[in-house]
Structure 1
Amino acid sequence: MRYSKEHKFQTHARIVKRASIKLREKGAHGIGVADLMKEAGLTHGGFYAHFDSRDALVVEAFAHAMDRSTEHWRRQSEEAPAEKRLSAIVNGYLSPLHRDNPGQGCAVPALAAEIARESAKTRRAFSGRMQQMIEMLAKQFHGVPPKTARKQAMAALATMMGSLVMARVAGNNEFSDEILKSGRDAILERAKPVAAKKTSKRTTASA
């Protein structure tokens, strides 16, 4: 039976979507092609009608997950006042909801360690998407030069990623919540405008 191009496109997209979830839940090597195809409701034999190799699927699945994260940040920033956009992203990222749902969350803390051991092609795809995430985050640092905003965005993403990984290792408890809060506080305190920080220090000194 021959299927239309639209049907093939929809099937391809469904495989990528399901793969992106399972890869974030189980890791790049935690699930095989047969399992991924089963998740998509297809047979193992149909895999090569959509992908040249398992690596090709992994690259697309990673890209899909990271694109979703960037788009989610974009929606959050559009829905918040300019001065609260960074905090909206950081608070949403370092939240118990995100911690407890890796399959629906950011691919960076879920897969970065494994990506470092993947093929050069996979690492390039991951790196390119990560740069897009940094650029998106840099736009939320207002009142600073672009180069400074980019550096701050890199530091913020590293803190977000590390805090989330630590919180997941700690589990669902008070200690884990404390890690999330510490990450949020560190980023948002660092991002305060210089003038506001100076004012705060003068107020403290005169008290």
Structure 2
Amino acid sequence: MKSKSAAKATPNRKEITHTRIVETAAKAIRRSGYSGTGVADIMKEAGLTHGGFYAHFASRDEMLAEAARHAGAETIAVTEQLFANVPKEQRLWTLMNVYLSDEHTANIEMGCSFAALGSEMHRQAPEVRAASTQKIKEMIALIEAELSEQSPANARQDAMMIVSSMVGTLMLARAVDDKELSVALRQSALKHFAPKEN
């Protein structure tokens, strides 16, 4: 027999379904953008009926806010996992190389939500913007923590520069239809941030 706490920890059917909708929406917004993501399409992709949507969300914007929060959390989790498996002095340089790699550039659906959705954010509902903004702040704080030992006075400013450079470079690399330019943009950013030789 399960204890009350064990029973509480096990998600019920509605929670499992809710999570499936949010995960599906998080992929869809990165793939198709906010404006290209409809409720009916999300529910169909999640294997559910359109009519069941309002049992989980009061509005499309509420779903999009949760999806943005989930997508941003995935970006942060990948970064934390990378940091946990790389020596401290190599973490930021490794992150930049992974972030600006061919694989990440091509993998919009599962890649960084900030780069996939950044250009659309200003047109979103306040709750969607707030969810994304919070995750961007968390990403900056994660980078700031890595930099704080090297140069505590400039750690926050440098962290914002690194995050904005990675996200902006990836957005442009994906936007252009010239493969050589896409590669050159990413290589230029990596060259700029490359560790200086002693």
Structure 1 and Structure 2 fold alike (TM over 0.5)? yes
Counterpart mapping for 1:1-207 below 5 A: 6-141=12-147, 142-145=149-152, 147-171=153-177, 173-189=179-195, 200=198
Distance apart, 1:18 and its partner CA: 0.8
Structure 1 unaligned regions, length at least 5: 201-207
Distance apart, 1:13 and its partner CA: 0.6
Q: Deviations over 1:79-105 (max 9, x none)?
A: 011100111111111111111011101
Check conservation: 2:24, 2:42, Cα contact below 8 A.
yes
Distance apart, 1:73 and its partner CA: 0.5
**Number of residue-to-residue matches in the alignment:** 188
Check conservation: 1:100, 1:172, Cα contact below 8 A.
no
Distance apart, 1:172 and its partner CA: 6.8
Pair 1:41–1:184, CA change in 2 (3 A): same
Q: Deviations over 1:92-137 (max 9, x none)?
A: 1111111101110111111122111112222122111110000011
Check conservation: 2:62, 2:127, Cα contact below 8 A.
no
Distance apart, 1:188 and its partner CA: 3.4
User: Matched residues in 2 for 1:155 and 1:83: separation?
Assistant: 19
User: Matched residues in 2 for 1:77 and 1:5: separation?
Assistant: 30
User: Matched residues in 2 for 1:5 and 1:89: separation?
Assistant: 34
3-state SS of paired residue (2:194): helix
3-state SS of paired residue (1:156): helix
RMSD: 1.7
User: Matched residues in 1 for 2:83 and 2:159: separation?
Assistant: 15
Q: Deviations over 1:25-76 (max 9, x none)?
A: 1000102100000010001000001111100100000010110111110010
Structure 2 unaligned regions, length at least 5: 1-9
Which residue is equivalent to 1:204?
none
User: Matched residues in 2 for 1:172 and 1:50: separation?
Assistant: 42
Percent of residue pairs identical: 37
Which residue is equivalent to 2:6?
none
Pair 1:5–1:139, CA change in 2 (3 A): closer
| TM-score normalised by L of structure 2 | 0.89
> Which contiguous aligned blocks of 4+ residues in structure 1 show a shift greater than 4 angstroms?
none
